[in-house]
Amino acid sequence: MLILASSSPRRRELLTQAGFDFTVEAADIDERIQSGESPAKYVQRLAVEKAQAVYDRFKDRDSSGDPLLVLGADTTVVSEGEVLGKPADPADARRMLQRLSGRTHQVLTGIAAVSASGVVSEVEITQVFFDLIHESELERYLSSGEPMDKAGAYGIQGYAARWIPRIEGCYFNVMGLPLARTIALIARAGEGHNEARPPV
């Protein structure tokens, strides 16, 4: 039994696209970054904590015939060392997008799988190049409401795609779930490998 510990519609879409049957259970955890924590350690920790919280909630349903595996993920945007999560309000979204305009930034996603065998986790990093964002386009985007539920105040699959001439790395990672790496991680977890790789 596979459970996705995330309420993200994009992660649900991607996992479905990859051919998995699963249920969705959101994890209620404290997502604040800890003092001195690197972005890679931050997203990896949150992915593990999300998966572990949901696993603990449903572990009584684990069975040898249908073993329980919980997948957690967390994505953040990093611009020149600053972690950009989901914007608090439109003014915060404007600040983030102005910071990203004309610059290169990184998108980091931590993924973790928790099963009876233990925990496996990894971090995927993608470089994203942004063109300059003109004020008229920024106003149109902010008024759409689209940036408000997305790390860094944008989604590569939406209106903001017009500002992204290229990326280096996994496209799906920027959407919130690096598919190839996630599939490999689920396979490792299913084989009972419980070593956790360190953050990149």
Angle at 101 (CA atoms; ends 133, 94), nearest 5 degrees:
80
Instruction: Write down the domain spans for the chain.
Output: 2-190
Q: At what angle do helices 9-17 and 179-190 cross, to 10 degrees?
A: 70
Q: Which parts of 87-200 fold into alpha helices (H)?
A: 90-100, 135-144, 171-175, 179-190
- Quick one: tokens of 170? 């996994």
Between the CA atoms of 46, 43, 84 and 80, what dihedral angle is there, to the nearest 10 degrees? Answer: 150
21 annotated active-site: no
For the stretch 171-196, pLDDT in tens is 999 999 999 999 999 999 877 544 44
Q: What is the pTM of this model?
A: 0.90
Q: Catalytic: which of 21, 30, 60, 74?
A: 74
Give the fold, CATH level 3, of 2-190: Maf protein (3.90.950)
The predicted-structure confidence for 18-46, as pLDDT tens digits, reads as follows 999 999 999 989 888 999 999 999 999 99
Q: Give the number of other CB atoms < 10 A from CB of residue 171.
A: 14
As a whole number of angstroms, the distance between CA 13 and CA 138 comes to 27
How far is Cα 36 from Cα 41, in angstroms, rounded to an integer? 10
